[in-house]
């Protein structure tokens, strides 16, 4: 579950939050003045995100081996990345709201 918390909440509840992250795989979006500042996520999730980013980067490099990307391919890749990122953000928002 993803929960939004303020920086003050983090200062007051860091122990509980760390336990929830470690034991229940909860995720927290830390906000300051209503704006997202950082995230507290399980290490396993961070590693997954890094691996996915690396794989995506390697895919682009493979595509470029024969030369630079043409404009159509570059646009397609950027739109796919944007769609994926928005889908992940929307899924987390909906998931977080439905469990409250």
Structural domain spans, the chain: 1-41, 44-94
Cβ(5)–Cβ(28) under 8 Å?
yes
pLDDT at residue 69, rounded to an integer: 67
CA distances to 57, 67, 68, 75, 76 from 71, rounded to whole Å, are 18, 12, 9, 6, 9
CATH of domain 1-41: 3.40.1620
* 27-41, 46-60, 67-81: least confident range: 67-81
CA nearest 77: which of 88, 91, 64? 64
The whole model's pTM is what?
A: 0.56
């Amino acid at each position: 579950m993803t929960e939004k918390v303020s920086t003050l909440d983090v200062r007051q509840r860091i122990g509980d939050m760390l336990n929830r992250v470690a034991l229940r795989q909860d995720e927290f979006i830390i906000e300051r003045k209503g704006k997202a500042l950082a995230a507290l996520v399980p290490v396993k999730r961070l590693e997954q995100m890094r691996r996915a980013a690396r794989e995506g980067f390697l895919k682009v490099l493979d595509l470029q081996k024969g030369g630079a990307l043409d404009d159509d391919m570059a646009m397609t890749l950027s739109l796919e990345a944007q769609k994926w990122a928005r889908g992940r953000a929307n899924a987390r928002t909906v998931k977080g709201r439905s469990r409250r």
